[in-house]
Structures are given as C-alpha cells and as structure tokens.
C-alpha cells in the first residue's frame, strides 16, 4: 500500500469534507478518514442548511469553490428567505434538506473526486517530529505519512450521550466515538475543554395532527445556494409551527432534579443561542410558551424533527412533554432527545490560518475549534484546506478579513477572543454586515478564490458573466431620461415628477420605486438576471451607508496592514498592563487591528504597542 500522502484530513463531517475536497481540487494527494463512512456529511441535528448569518456562510463557501451549497441545492425539499421584514444585510437563505439524500450525494461526490482517498479508520495519534507534523497512527497501529494534517473531528472526541440517568460513551446517533485522539492532543500541549450540545426527539409524521398547527410553506422565486445550480430547487414539502404551553412547563419544572443539565450529570458548557427546552423554561419563566417547528427529516421518511425541543430529560418525561403540545398529543416518538458532551480545543491555540501555533503543518477546523453548526464547520474546513495547501507549497496563507466575509468574522472571533461556549455565527457579530450581504458574495470573493486556486472555471466564468451584466446595467442606469416619457411611473408610485431629466439610478433611490416596477417601463431591463438587478438596486438604495462603511474599513485597513513581529516578549513588556501582556502573549496577534480586537486590550495598550513598534522599526 502507498501510505504516503500530501495531506490527511481526520473526520468526514462538514468541516472535513470541505477541507479534503479543496485540497484534492488543488492537486494534493489527500487521505480522508472517518470513524464510519456512513457518517460522511451526516446531519446529527436539524436537517437544514443556512438560516440567519449561516446562509451567508454557505454562499461564501460556494464562492470559494466549496461543496455545501451545491449539495444543499440537490437535497433541498423546502426553501425560505429569513428576515425579509428587515434590511437586505440580514436576509438569509435557509433550506430544509433531505438528510439521507444529502449524505448520499456528498459521499458519492467525494468518491468521484480525483486525488482523494477515503478510508474508514480510527485515528488515535498525530505523528510529530521536530515540532512538525508528519502523519497519523490508527487504532490498528497503521501509519500514514503526510506533509500536513487537518483535524476535523466534530463532536466525536471522547463523546458521551446523556439522557436522564442513562449515559453511553458514543458519538451522535449511535456512531462510535473517538477514544484516544483527544488524549493525544492534550499530550501534544493543545489546551482542551469540554462542551455540550443536544438534539430534540423525533416523531412519526403520521401520528401528528397537523391541523392543530400553523402551516409553513416555502417561498417562491428565491436564489439557490450555489452559482452552479441552474434550475429551481425542490420546494414542495411543508413545515409546521406549534407551541409549548404552561402544562408543558409545569412538567419540566417538576422534573428538574432528573434533568442532567441541573443535577450535575452534564459537565460540558452548552450553547447559549440554542438552549435545551428545560434551560429555556428556567431562564425565561415569564414566557408562557415557546415556538416549536415540526420539520421533515427527508422526502422518503415519515420522521419529523421537533425543532426547539432539544432535551436530555429522561425518556418517560419526554413522552409526557410531547403529549402536552398541540398536534403532538398522540405523536409516537421514534428517537428520543439527548445531550452530547465532547472535547474540543481552545481556538486561541490557532493562527488566523487555523494552524496550530505550536506545531507546524497541523490544522484544526469545525466543532473541535469550539464552534457549533454545520455551516460554521464547513466554512472553517475550506479555509483550513486552502491553508494546508499553502503550507505544503510554502506560499502565503489565505486569511479573509472581517470586512471581506462572514468567514473572516467567524475565524477572527475564534482565534482572537476564543469562546467559552459553542460559538454560533450571527449577523450581529459582523460590524460591516451591510457590505457582507448574500447578494454580493461572488463580487466579494470570486477573485480571492481564483488567486487561491480553490474555485473552478465554471464558477469563475459565471461570476465574469455577472460582472459583465453589472457593467452594462450600470451604464444603462446612468443615462438620463425625460420624465415626460415615464409620467405614468410617477402616477403609479405617487412619487413627485422631476422638473428635469432623470436617470434610472436616481429613480431607484426613491423609496417606492424598484426594478419590479421599472421593468414595466424599461423592457430592456428584462435581459438582466434577477440577482444582478437585486444587487445593483441594494447598492443604489444604500449607497450613502455603504460609502460611510467603506471609509471605516479604509481606516481599519491601515491597522490590518500593520504587521506585528511574532518574537515580541509580551510578558516582559513593562509598559503594558498585566492583563494586556497576558492576553497578547496568549493570542500573539498578527496585526495591530487584531491586537485591538482582543478582549481586555484597551486603546491605551494599543498606543503603547504602536510607540514600541515604531521605536523597534
């Protein structure tokens, strides 16, 4: 057997998939290992892709040449755009997907990927020589050698399933856990911590009374996740909305002594923004009800996912809870909810390229870095893969800034400030979110992807077509028109008639005028794609805000360009406060801007650091 590879990726969840795929695409002979090949791309929690801020991540992954958006489009059974009542910065695409189809489609794609070898194996040790990674050892004591290794083990490191007083040393959904790799990472000096997440019960669809629930259908005429998907996705399956009630809450409160979250059985830190139902009831005692979404697990199964009812209460209590919920009174539980604890690392141990600071050539991505969610994992995976390729080729690392992508915000948050709980991406975390919209993702990232080599000819050509359309549209919209020729437009919209010639761009700035209306008066606008029209309209209507944001970004770029030498002895830096010394020594920021974002480092500390760097220069 040939046991030498350019790169090895441990774990075939959403992070490992993207890392292995992009490395293979970049020409690196790559080995992808998984504890079970049946777990490749498995959705242990809700079978959906996207959502608030997460939809942005999926679109960015696609712009960089990743798989998630493309496979999500194949497996979609319902699609919606969230936050439409708010501004375009927070509009987020979300798809309910067929979990089994998603797994099959992505597994088949990887099986047919050139340069990629897939192996069912339990990796127990990382081989390190002279501070540099050299390969891995499996439970069978088999050795595989490589120039770079990416760890993407998700929630499988020393995983433990907990429901009531029952616990099992297991990964999610009954898959085996990784027994020894966590101990090896700790022995290598990586700072470890214990996190927790959970999942709700599933119920049999034919036992649910949907007439007592509010029907949730998909939205029409939405864009796809992937630029490669040319046809509309499947959008015919329904979700349903129901609620808990005071009787539900009474049962939960009466049984808190049996809840592992409150009786000490759970040691790990859980996600603040995706709490269990028992946590919600305790923390929000003023609430008489909580939303629950009943969502299909796939097109060829009757199982329904009860989103919002994540719990680790005992089986019999879960049965009692279900019977109090409108529409679920006679529901049959097919899988009980559970909590899962797992080991992960402190992401402060990583550089902005997701490389372990203390070990050359070792990268980590996904939930092992303390994040939560399929999308956050996949976003880290593609960046780790691109940077492992850069490490092998000894070329500059690929780092996205906070003003370039949500992926940049995600990774910078993790490696600059770390996280004390499972990290979830939200639009509020992005200070430049008006610039980081879904509709402009290919204009933002296609050139970066081309330079990195991670995109492909088809994607890049489609981007160039959009760019060409935009140039033509901008030219057309700048031409002046006599208001007499479109007098009906002003009557229809109740907008004041201008006294002189006006351009389409100027018309778009008016609140009640958009391209849906303008197309009736300018038929040649029909030749432009809807996504290009949407992008241009948003750019015009928010032009003032975008210009202000651009000025802020330009000012910040000066600090981003100010590189900090990595040999500074922060602990011996007597001009800084003790807290600042400790934080700077732990993070070891690459730029002045990153140093300024570290929690506990004040503007005064930054001024001292600037003076020191100028003197040193």
Model confidence pLDDT, tens digit, residues 406-439: 999 999 999 999 999 999 999 999 999 999 999 9
Q: Which residues of 393-429 are buried (b: 16+ CB within 10 A; e: fewer)?
A: eeeeebbbbbbbbbbbbbbbbbbbbbbebbbbbebeb
Q: What is the DSSP secondary structure assignment for residue 284, as one 8-state letter?
A: T
Rounded to an integer, what distance in angstroms lies between the CA atom of residue 15 and that of residue 152? Answer: 6
- Give residue for tokens 């974002």: 597
Contact 410, 376 (CB under 8 A): yes
pLDDT in tens, 207-218: 999 999 999 999
Strands of 291-296's sheet, edge to edge?
Answer: 214-216, 239-243, 291-296, 303-307, 202-204, 333-335
Which two tokens mark 319?
Answer: 């049965």
In DSSP terms, which residues pair with 591 in a beta bridge? 563
CB atoms within 10 A of CB 556: 18
What is the rounded (10 degree) CA torsion for 277, 153, 385, 567?
100
Which 3 state secondary structure label does DSSP give 281?
A: helix
Distances, alpha carbon 324 to alpha carbons 163, 242, 291, 312, 318, in Å: 20, 11, 14, 18, 10
Rounded to an integer, what distance in angstroms lies between the CA atom of residue 587 and that of residue 277? Answer: 36
Cβ neighbors of 610 (< 8 A, separation 6 or more) are 592
In DSSP terms, which residues pair with 341 in a beta bridge? 160, 196
Rounded to an integer, what distance in angstroms lies between the CA atom of residue 3 and that of residue 103? Answer: 27
Q: Which pLDDT score, from 0 to 100, does residue 167 have?
A: 95
Which 3 state secondary structure label does DSSP give 325?
A: coil
Nearest residue to 528 (alpha-carbon basis) of 519, 540, 538, 541: 519
Rounded to an integer, what distance in angstroms lies between the CA atom of residue 271 and that of residue 277? Answer: 12
DSSP string, 572-588: G-TTS-HHHHHHHHHH-
Contact 296, 77 (CB under 8 A): yes
φ/ψ of 530, rounded to 5, equals: -65, -35
Give first-to-last CA distance, the chain, whole Å: 53
Cβ neighbors of 323 (< 8 A, separation 6 or more) are 329, 330, 331
Contact 73, 226 (CB under 8 A): yes
Nearest residue to 234 (alpha-carbon basis) of 220, 215, 254, 248: 220
Q: Which pLDDT score, from 0 to 100, does residue 614 have?
A: 87
Sign, CA torsion 363/368/369/372: positive
Which 3 state secondary structure label does DSSP give 178?
A: strand
Rounded to an integer, what distance in angstroms lies between the CA atom of residue 387 and that of residue 18? Answer: 12
Rounded to an integer, what distance in angstroms lies between the CA atom of residue 146 and that of residue 389? Answer: 12
All residue ranges of the chain with pLDDT < 50 are: none
- Give residue for tokens 């009374």: 209
pTM here?
A: 0.95
Contact 185, 359 (CB under 8 A): no
Rounded to an integer, what distance in angstroms lies between the CA atom of residue 6 and that of residue 149? Answer: 9
In DSSP terms, which residues pair with 144 in a beta bridge? 136
Q: Which pLDDT score, from 0 to 100, does residue 615 have?
A: 86
Rounded to an integer, what distance in angstroms lies between the CA atom of residue 213 and that of residue 525? Answer: 42
- Give residue for tokens 């004591």: 141
Which two tokens mark 601?
Answer: 């480092």
CB atoms within 10 A of CB 611: 11
Q: Which pLDDT score, from 0 to 100, does residue 1 have?
A: 58
Rounded to an integer, what distance in angstroms lies between the CA atom of residue 253 and that of residue 233? Answer: 43
Which 3 state secondary structure label does DSSP give 253?
A: helix
Nearest residue to 157 (alpha-carbon basis) of 420, 424, 368: 368
Cα 115 to chain center, whole Å?
26
Rounded to an integer, what distance in angstroms lies between the CA atom of residue 589 and that of residue 491? Answer: 58
Domains with residue ranges and CATH for the chain = 7-197+342-452 (3.50.50.60), 202-339 (2.40.30.260), 469-548 (1.10.10.1800), 562-616 (1.10.150.570)
CB-facing half-sphere around the CA of 156: CA atoms within 13 A: 29
Q: Which pLDDT score, from 0 to 100, does residue 558 have?
A: 86
Q: Which pLDDT score, from 0 to 100, does residue 417 have?
A: 94
Q: Which pLDDT score, from 0 to 100, does residue 556 have?
A: 86
Rounded to an integer, what distance in angstroms lies between the CA atom of residue 49 and that of residue 79? Answer: 10
Distances, alpha carbon 403 to alpha carbons 64, 344, 386, 549, 552, in Å: 16, 28, 20, 9, 10
């Amino acid at each position: 057997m040939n046991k030498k590879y350019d790169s090895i990726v441990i774990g075939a969840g959403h992070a490992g998939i993207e890392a292995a795929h992009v490395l293979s695409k970049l020409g690196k002979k790559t080995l992808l290992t998984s504890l079970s090949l049946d777990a490749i791309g498995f959705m242990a929690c809700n079978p959906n892709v996207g959502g608030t801020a997460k939809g942005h991540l999926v679109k960015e992954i696609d712009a960089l040449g990743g798989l998630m958006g493309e496979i999500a489009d194949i497996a979609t059974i319902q699609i919606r755009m969230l936050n439409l009542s708010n501004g375009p910065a927070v509009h987020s695409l979300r798809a309910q997907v067929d979990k089994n189809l998603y797994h099959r489609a992505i597994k088949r794609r990887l099986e047919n990927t050139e340069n990629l070898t897939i192996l069912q194996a339990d990796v127990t040790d990382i081989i390190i020589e002279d501070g540099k990674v050299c390969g891995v050892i499996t439970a069978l004591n088999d050795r595989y050698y490589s120039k770079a290794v990416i760890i993407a083990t998700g929630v499988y490191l020393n995983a433990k399933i907990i429901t009531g007083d029952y616990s099992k040393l297991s990964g999610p959904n009954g898959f085996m856990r990784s027994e020894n790799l966590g101990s090896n990472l700790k022995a290598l000096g990586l700072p470890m911590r214990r996190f927790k997440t959970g999942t709700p019960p599933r119920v049999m669809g034919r036992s649910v009374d949907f007439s007592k629930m509010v029907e949730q259908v998909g939205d029409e005429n939405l864009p796809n996740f992937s630029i490669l998907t040319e046809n509309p996705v499947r959008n015919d399956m329904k979700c349903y909305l129901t609620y808990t009630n005071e009787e539900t809450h009474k049962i939960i409160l009466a049984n808190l002594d049996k809840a592992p979250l409150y009786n000490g059985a759970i040691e790990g830190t859980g996600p603040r923004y995706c709490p269990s139902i028992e946590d919600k009831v305790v923390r929000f005692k003023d609430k008489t009800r909580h939303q629950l979404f009943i969502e299909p697990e796939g097109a060829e199964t009757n199982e329904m996912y009860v989103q919002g009812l994540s719990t680790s209460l005992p089986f019999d209590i879960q049965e009692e809870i279900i019977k109090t919920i409108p529409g679920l009174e006679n529901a049959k539980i097919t899988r009980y909810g559970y909590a899962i604890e797992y080991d992960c690392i402190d992401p402060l141990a990583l550089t902005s390229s997701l490389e372990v600071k203390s070990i050359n050539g070792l990268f980590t991505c996904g939930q092992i870095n303390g994040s939560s969610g399929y999308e956050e994992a996949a976003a880290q995976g593609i960046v780790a893969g691109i940077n492992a390729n850069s490490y092998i080729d000894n070329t500059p690392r690929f780092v996205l800034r906070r003003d370039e992508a949500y992926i940049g915000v995600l990774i910078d948050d993790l490696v600059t400030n770390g996280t004390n709980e499972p990290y979830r991406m939200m639009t509020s975390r992005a200070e430049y979110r008006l610039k980081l919209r879904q509709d402009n993702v290919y204009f933002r990232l296609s050139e970066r992807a081309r330079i990195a080599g991670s995109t492909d000819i088809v994607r890049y050509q489609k981007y160039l077509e959009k760019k060409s359309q935009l140039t033509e549209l901008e030219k057309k919209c700048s031409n002046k028109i006599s208001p007499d020729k479109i007098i009906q437009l002003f009557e229809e919209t109740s907008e004041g008639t201008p006294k002189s010639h006006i351009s389409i761009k100027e018309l778009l700035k008016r609140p009640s005028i958009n391209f849906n209306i303008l197309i009736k008066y300018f038929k040649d606008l029909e030749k432009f794609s809807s996504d290009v029209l949407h992008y241009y309209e948003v750019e015009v209507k928010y032009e003032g805000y975008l210009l202000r944001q651009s000025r802020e970004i330009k000012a910040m770029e000066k600090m981003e360009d100010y590189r900090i030498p990595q040999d500074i002895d922060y602990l011996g830096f007597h001009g800084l406060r003790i807290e600042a010394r400790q934080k700077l020594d732990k993070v070891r920021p690459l730029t002045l801007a990153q140093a300024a974002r570290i929690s506990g480092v004040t503007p005064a500390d930054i001024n001292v650091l600037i003076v020191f760097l100028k003197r040193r220069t």
